[in-house]
Amino acid sequence: MSEKVRVRFAPSPTGPLHMGGVRTALYNYLFAKKHGGDFILRIEDTDEKRFVEGAQEYIINSLKWCGIEPNEGAGYGGEKGPYVQSERRDLYKPFAEKLVESGHAYIAFDTPEELEQMREQAKQMGLPNWQYNGVTRSSMKNSLSLSKEEVEKRLAAGESYSVRIKMPRNEDIKFQDIIRGWVTVNTNNLDDKILVKPSGMPTYHLANIVDDHLMEITHVIRGEEWLPSAPLHVLLYDCLGWERPKFAHLPLILRPDGNGKLSKRDGDRLGFPVFPLNWVTSEGETYSGYKEAGYFPQAFVNMLSLLGWNPGNNEEIFSLEELIEKFSLERVGKSGARFDPDKTKWFNQQYLRSTSDEELAQMAQSHLTEDFNTTYVAKVCGLMKERATFIQDIVIDGDYFFNDVQDYDEKTVRKKWKDDTPQIMQELLVELEKIEDFNQQNIEAVFSAYLEKNEYGFGKVGPGFRLLVTGKGMGPSMFEICATLGKDKVISRMKEGIEKVNQLKATAE
Ligand code: GLU
């Protein structure tokens, strides 16, 4: 590629950024970095009615958390700003005028009520999808159907108007999409979309192409839902005599259980986050975010990278740097990518396992109510991380490292606490008490010697031992747990526990 690659992520601040939006941003980012280009964040807020307070900050914070920060754009500055469309309002006008002057667009005076009436009439005649287009425009109130004098009179009277594209009749609009190949649409299937609203604000279509041109965007990489708009955009570039950018429309992200597009409601229904960060609506309703649910941003980004793109082999774990190196739009598929919440957890597990015990300890501290020695917490993390998906699992499943044992696993009490277990525990406790250097090896040696001497299998002693020291039926190696907890705790838990479990057993029966 000879010219400098410039791509943009252009969300509308209509609410929190959906994970599909984050994937679009990610692919743009990866493509830009791979080609030594620029990644720009542009806020498309021309739809005043759908504007949501706080959404822009949310978008910026989400990208920051994911580590896919723009090097130019809203909140970042740059030479081609401003990067928020409402601040560029006056900039679009001359282009709309140019389109009208050159006959590619026209002025329409129809009021919303009149348009509604038209639609209603058409519906009654059995035409449910009435459109303002090459067939109907001659019977509407616009600069093509009215006389020049009438148009001037209306304009002089300050009547409000829209600017509409004059969609040509029966022409094929063709463009090449990097992911989909050649796309051809006949203009008879397209309507005369509004380019400038009566308020003077451009619509998404006009603002989008003007900004892509002025910001020197080379590649438009966006979601499939924008594919139907692409022919109009291509036509506008041609009408204005501008070079078209290259297009790449990304496949949809499908919900886990069906063919529909992944939506906010699927997250609520199936219990997984759809948003990168928590979002609280103006009504006080909270939508959960990956960050607050305990995901590593790297795991979230890694998972997203594979929703539509594939590296061409079975590899799945990629750092951001590796993704930059390996990513290509040619390896993005056309068909929808199914989101898998379990796989997302799996990614988090992989990242948790590969994080150092010391780093995990720092993260775990924020989930602990008391301050513990960092070396101790790191040791616990090292022991627990193989079985954990989230950092909070370490604290919850390993609560016996941080608190006295309060509860004993009911099933283990019922099944493994036999009549002779109290006696066995008593004997084991005596042996353990004799150990001077209470380390893993010594504990294991004493435990094994005890089994051997009495000709006991592990199953006769192990579960009761674990139950007394941890309250659980499962967990990491008991010898490591005991060495980490220290002799005093192990001995006192065994001593106090025997009677408590006996009582539990008695009440359970
Ligand atoms: N503002 C559009 C959106 O909210 C952007 C579409 C595009 O990238 O052209 O997704």
Q: Cα separations (Å) of 15 from 63, 287, 455?
A: 15, 11, 67
* Ligand 1: residue whose CA is nearest its atom 2: 11
In contact, 354 and 388? CB cutoff 8 Å: no
Phi and psi angles of residue 400, each rounded to the nearest 5 degrees, phi first: -65, -10
**Token representation of residue 144:** 């093509």
**pLDDT given at position 242:** 98
- At residue 64's C-alpha, the angle toward residues 307 and 368, to 5°, is 95
Q: Hey, is 294 helix, strand or coil? A: coil
Atom of ligand 1 nearest to the CA of 9: 8
Tell me the pLDDT tens digit for each residue of 346-389: 999 999 999 999 999 999 999 999 999 999 999 999 999 999 99
Distance between CA atoms of residues 237 and 210, nearest Å: 9
Tell me the pLDDT tens digit for each residue of 221-253: 999 999 999 999 999 999 999 999 999 999 999
* Ligand 1: residue whose CA is nearest its atom 3: 11
**pLDDT given at position 508:** 76
| Cα–ligand 1 centroid distance for 27 (angstroms) | 14
- Identify the H or E element spanning 320: helix 320-326
Tell me the pLDDT tens digit for each residue of 280-292: 999 999 999 999 9
| Cα–ligand 1 centroid distance for 43 (angstroms) | 9
Query: What does the DSSP 8-state code read for residue 506?
Result: H
Q: How many CB atoms lie within 10 A of CB 366?
A: 9
**pLDDT given at position 258:** 80
Query: What does the DSSP 8-state code read for residue 8?
Result: E
In contact, 494 and 432? CB cutoff 8 Å: yes
Strands of 162-165's sheet, edge to edge?
105-108, 162-165, 194-196
| Cα–ligand 1 centroid distance for 384 (angstroms) | 43
Ligand 1 touching residue 208 (CB < 6 A) = yes
| Cα–ligand 1 centroid distance for 60 (angstroms) | 16
Residue type, 273: P
Hey, what domains does the chain have and what are their CATH numbers?
A: 6-80+202-254 (3.40.50.620), 90-196 (3.90.800.10), 266-353 (1.10.1160.10), 358-508 (1.10.10.350)
**How sure is the predictor about 334, in pLDDT bands with cuts at 50, 70 and 90?**
very high
**Which residues face 40 on adjacent strands?**
8, 72
Give the residue, out of 222, 225, 227, 237, with the most ligand 1 atoms within 8 A of its beta carbon, to mutate for a pocket test: 222
Distance between CA atoms of residues 225 and 222, nearest Å: 8
| Residue corresponding to tokens 């609520």 | 268
Ligand 1 touching residue 44 (CB < 6 A) = yes
Closest by CA position to 250, among listed 311, 184, 187, 304: 304
**Token representation of residue 278:** 């928590």
In contact, 471 and 496? CB cutoff 8 Å: no
Q: Which residues contact 359 (CB under 8 A, 6 or more apart)?
A: none
Residue type, 244: R
Beta strand pairing status for 72-73 and 38-41? parallel
Q: Where are the alpha helices (DSSP H) in 104-147?
A: 112-124
**pLDDT given at position 2:** 61
Distance between CA atoms of residues 270 and 416, nearest Å: 36
| Cα–ligand 1 centroid distance for 222 (angstroms) | 7
**Token representation of residue 325:** 């190196």
Ligand 1 touching residue 11 (CB < 6 A) = yes
**pLDDT given at position 384:** 98
Q: Hey, is 165 helix, strand or coil? A: strand
Tell me the pLDDT tens digit for each residue of 388-439: 999 999 999 999 999 999 999 999 999 999 999 999 999 999 999 999 999 9
Q: Is residue 264 annotated as part of the catalytic site, yes or no? A: yes
Tell me the pLDDT tens digit for each residue of 266-324: 888 888 999 999 999 999 999 999 999 999 999 999 999 999 999 999 999 999 999 99
Give the active site residue among 98, 197, 261, 264.
264
In contact, 177 and 183? CB cutoff 8 Å: yes
- Residue 77, sorted as left (phi over 0), alpha (psi -120 to 50) or beta, turns out to be left
3-state secondary structure 338-364: ECCHHHHHHHHHHHHHHCCHHHHHHHH
pLDDT of 456 above 60: yes
Atom of ligand 1 nearest to the CA of 12: 4
Give the residue, out of 8, 9, 12, with the most ligand 1 atoms within 8 A of its beta carbon, to mutate for a pocket test: 12
**Token representation of residue 497:** 């526990």
**Token representation of residue 381:** 């993390």
Q: How many CB atoms lie within 10 A of CB 505?
A: 17
**Which residues face 219 on adjacent strands?**
7, 246
| Residue corresponding to tokens 């525990």 | 425
- Give pTM, 2 decimals: 0.93
Query: What does the DSSP 8-state code read for residue 313?
Result: S
| Cα–ligand 1 centroid distance for 42 (angstroms) | 9
**How sure is the predictor about 1, in pLDDT bands with cuts at 50, 70 and 90?**
low
Sign of CA dihedral 370, 375, 377, 380: negative
In contact, 480 and 383? CB cutoff 8 Å: yes
**How sure is the predictor about 264, in pLDDT bands with cuts at 50, 70 and 90?**
confident
* Ligand 1: residue whose CA is nearest its atom 5: 10
Q: Within 13 Å and on the Cβ side, how many CA atoms surround 203?
A: 15
Distance between CA atoms of residues 82 and 211, nearest Å: 10
